[in-house]
């Protein structure tokens, strides 16, 4: 049976005892721990060693990042001194492993040494200074990594620790909650499937009842023409009800009775009888005693062709033609002025 694969990422020399303990803990849960020092990563001979680590991190089921005082060795893509200065910025293998997991949206759990987190607070207050000596980290990049992780909006659960037991307790609770969430979603999915099946059954039953009723009406009716007229009338009535239902689902229509509080029959009559979009806004403004703000709404609708499309979709469901904006009327003085200018321009040629 396949087991969940947990990628454990951290610097090695300062955290090797925690990595060993965490590997054992993961194994006791029945999961598979992926740790580079135990040969659990399949290395591609055509790629740098760290590139294979990133690939495995992106394929894991769970990702655990432990942040201590060390930032780690530079990634193969960074051609810098193997022992960079404290304030020199670079990409480490550990950071790149985290980014690979984040890019794959792997559920990620961040564990931060308490002493490092304490100094991180000091760093945030003095980020522009390069003369501070920190006691618990070897590189300022540790703080920048923490800042990047904690600045994410999701998938960045973090926990401070002092002892190994705190790590195990927190991860046990987190993974139990993850499993519970999975069971809840599975139950909800089954309910949705069941509901979908019921809707399909009701739809099929409705179609059957419709055919039965049509057959019965045809048999008991004294006139074949009367039966067909009745059946056609009912079909038209049902089609009309469906169109009205769709009409009141349109957002720009629904807002009028849900947010503005207008009566549904009035809204339907308003959309049906308006002779232009300008007229529609004027009548809306009057119906709401100016609360809608006809002029403002009209200017807004002129800038939003998608809303005009919704208006005309509503009109089509009512069997009415699309509306347009009124053409602006020029004053006689303006028109005469333009005509005079045109004539003078023509005489100059």
pLDDT at 303: 81
Strands across the sheet containing 32-34: 32-34, 5-9, 62-67, 108-113, 157-161
Report which of 280, 304, 303, 302 is spatially closest to residue 292, judged by C-alpha positions. Answer: 280
pLDDT at 212: 64
pLDDT at 317: 87
Q: Let me know: does 265 contact 312? Beta carbons within 8 Å.
A: no
Crossing angle of helices 16-28/164-220, nearest 10°?
Answer: 40
HEC string of the chain equals: CCCCEEEEECCCCCCHHHHHHHHHHHHHCCCEEECHHHCCCCCCCCCCHHHHHHHHHHHCCEEEEEECCCCCCECCCCCCCCCCCCCCCCCEHHHHHHHHHHHCCCCEEEEEEHHHHHHHHHHHHCCCCCCCCCCCCCCCHHHHHHHHHHCCCCCCEEEEECCHHHHHHHHHHHHHHHHHHHHHHHHHHHHHHHHHHHHHHHHHHHHHHHHHHHHHHHHHCCCHHHHHHHHHHHHHHHHHHHHHHHHCCCHHHHHHHHCCCCCHHHHHHHHHHCCCHHHHHHHHHHHCCCCCCHHHHHHHHHHCHHHHHHHHHHHHHCCCCCCCCCCCCCCHHHHHHHHHHHHHHHHCC
Which pTM does this prediction carry?
Answer: 0.58
pLDDT at 220: 64
Report which of 255, 248, 265, 54 is spatially closest to residue 273, judged by C-alpha positions. Answer: 265
φ/ψ (deg, to 5) at 108:
-120, 140
pLDDT at 255: 77
pLDDT at 349: 46
Name the residue ranges covered by the structural domains of the chain. Answer: 5-162, 250-349
**Whole-number Å distance between alpha carbons of 176 and 160:** 19
* CATH 1.10.150 at 5-162, yes or no: no
pLDDT tens digits, the chain, 349 residues: what are they? 679 999 999 999 899 999 999 999 999 999 999 998 877 787 888 888 899 999 999 999 999 999 999 999 999 887 777 678 898 999 999 999 999 999 999 999 999 999 999 999 999 999 888 889 899 999 999 999 999 999 998 999 999 999 989 999 999 999 999 999 888 887 877 776 677 667 766 766 676 676 666 667 666 665 556 667 766 776 777 777 777 788 888 887 877 777 677 788 888 888 888 888 888 888 888 887 776 655 677 787 888 888 888 888 888 888 889 988 887 655 445 455 555 555 554 554 4
């Amino acid at each position: 049976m396949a087991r969940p694969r947990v990628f454990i990422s951290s610097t090695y020399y300062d955290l090797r005892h925690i990595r060993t303990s965490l590997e054992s803990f993961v194994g006791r849960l029945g999961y598979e721990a992926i740790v580079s020092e135990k040969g659990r990563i399949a290395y591609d001979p055509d790629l740098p060693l760290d590139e294979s680590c990133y690939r495995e991190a992106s394929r894991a089921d769970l990702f655990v990042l432990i942040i201590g005082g060390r930032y780690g060795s530079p990634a193969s893509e960074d051609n810098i001194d193997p022992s960079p200065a404290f304030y020199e910025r670079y990409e480490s293998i550990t950071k790149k492993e985290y980014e690979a997991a984040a890019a794959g949206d792997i559920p990620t759990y961040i564990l931060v040494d308490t002493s490092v987190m304490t100094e991180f607070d000091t760093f945030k207050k003095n980020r522009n200074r390069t003369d501070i000596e920190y006691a618990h980290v070897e590189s300022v990049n540790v703080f920048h990594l923490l800042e990047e992780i904690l600045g994410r909006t999701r998938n960045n659960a973090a926990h401070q620790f002092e002892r190994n037991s705190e790590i195990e307790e927190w991860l046990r609770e987190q993974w139990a909650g993850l499993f519970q969430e999975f069971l809840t979603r599975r139950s909800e999915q089954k309910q949705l499937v069941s509901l979908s099946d019921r809707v399909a059954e009701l739809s099929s039953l409705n179609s059957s009842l419709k055919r039965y009723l049509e057959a019965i009406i045809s048999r008991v009716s004294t006139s074949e023409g009367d039966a067909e007229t009745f059946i056609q009338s009912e079909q038209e009535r049902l089609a009309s009800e469906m169109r009205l239902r769709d009409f009141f689902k349109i957002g720009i229509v629904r807002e009028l009775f849900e947010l503005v509080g207008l009566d549904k029959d009035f809204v339907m009559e308003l959309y049906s009888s308006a002779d232009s979009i300008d007229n529609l806004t004027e009548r809306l403004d009057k119906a709401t005693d100016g609360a809608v703000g006809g002029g403002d709404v009209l200017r807004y609708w002129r800038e939003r062709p998608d809303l005009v499309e919704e208006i005309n979709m509503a009109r089509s469901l009512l069997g009415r033609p699309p509306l347009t904006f009124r053409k602006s009327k020029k004053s006689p003085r303006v028109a005469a002025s333009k005509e005079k200018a045109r004539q003078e321009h023509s005489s100059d040629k």
